[in-house]
Amino acid sequence: MTKQVEPESLLPLRPSVFHILLALSDGDLHGYGIMQEVAEHTAGQIKLGPGTLYGTIKRLLSGKLIVEVDERPDPEMDDERRRYYRLTDFGQKVLKAEVQRISRMVSVAQRKRLIAKPRT
């Protein structure tokens, strides 16, 4: 019997891990798609290189946070040599746990008036 891994036990996530999981939360992506998505949602601050991207993907696959999928979002437009990756349920739980952890930190920073509270 394999031991159940608690999502919280993997926190805090490395920035590259967090951003890849976040990029995959919208749907399946290939390596270049992940890289572009990460660069976009970090306003170009984080640009994953090939080694870092695929090294992280390898670790996420072995940790069962993501899986490789055969389906193609648009088979006609796509190169079949590309590999697509999908967030697993466990990966989703880990991502949610990390987002909650970060949001708690943001709340602390707001209470300490380090950043302003968003206007409602």
User: What stretch of H or E contains 109?
Assistant: helix 89-111
* Of 18 and 85, CB closest to another protein: 85
**Is 27 near another protein (CB under 8 A)?**
no
Among 28-36, 91-99, 100-108, 111-119, which window interacts with another protein (CB under 8 A)? 28-36
Amino acid sitting at position 101: R
CA distances to 17, 35, 64, 87 from 14, rounded to whole Å, are 5, 16, 16, 17
**Is 51 near another protein (CB under 8 A)?**
yes
Q: Which of residues 52-81 bind another protein (CB under 8 A)?
A: 52-55, 57-58, 79, 81
